[in-house]
Amino acid sequence: MFALLLTLLALCVWLYLDADRRQMNSPMAWVVAVCLVGPLAFAMYWSRRPLFTGEYRSGGRVWVMVRTFVIALTAWMILFAAVFAVWLSALMPGVVLVGIMGALLLFFGGFWFLVALGLLLAAFLFRDRYGAEVGPTHAALRGIAPPRMGDGLLRVIFLGGLLAVFIFTEPVTPDWMEEVQWETVPQHIQI
- Tens of pLDDT, residue by residue over 69-97, are 999 988 888 888 888 777 777 776 667 77
Q: In 10 A of CB 73, how many CB atoms?
A: 19
Q: Give per-residue pLDDT as tens, 165-190.
A: 877 776 665 555 555 555 555 565 65
Q: What is the pLDDT of residue 17?
A: 92
Q: Facing residues of 70 across strands? A: none
Q: Which amino acid is at 68?
A: T
Q: Which amino acid is at 154?
A: L
> In 42-187, where do the E strands start and end?
56-59, 128-134
Q: Facing residues of 56 across strands? A: 134
Is 33 a residue whose pLDDT tops 90? yes
Question: What number is the average pLDDT over the span 64-69?
Answer: 92
Instruction: Return the SS3 of 2.
Output: helix
Least confident of 81-85, 100-104, 151-155, 170-174: 170-174
CA dihedral over 176, 77, 12, 159, signed as positive or negative: positive
**For the chain, how many residues are written?**
191
Question: What number is the average pLDDT over the span 111-139?
Answer: 85
CA dihedral over 23, 27, 29, 31, signed as positive or negative: positive
> Sorting pLDDT into bands at 50, 70 and 90, what band is 191?
low
